[in-house]
Amino acid sequence: MAGSYNHVVDKTGAFVGVLGHLLDNLGDAHEALEELYGMVWYLANGDAAAVEKARVNYRAGLELSPGWGPRPRLIRP
1-29 pLDDT per residue, tens = 556 787 778 888 888 766 555 556 677 77
Closest of 10, 8, 34, 38 to residue 22, by C-alpha: 8
Domain contains 56: yes
Domain contains 38: yes
Q: How many structural domains compose the chain?
A: 1
Give pLDDT, residue 20.
53
Dihedrals phi, psi of 23, to nearest 5 degrees: -80, 0
Residue 77 pLDDT grade (very low, low, confident, very high; cuts 50, 70, 90): very low
Domain contains 49: yes
Residue 37 pLDDT grade (very low, low, confident, very high; cuts 50, 70, 90): very high
Structure confidence by residue, pLDDT tens digits, 41-60: 999 999 999 999 999 999 89
**Count of other CB atoms within 10 angstroms of residue 60:** 11
Domain contains 71: no
Give pLDDT, residue 17.
67
Domain contains 72: no
Domain contains 32: yes
Q: Which residues of 20-32 are buried (b: 16+ CB within 10 A; e: fewer)?
A: bbbbeeeebbebb
Domain contains 12: yes
d(CA 63, CA 51) in angstroms, rounded, equals 17
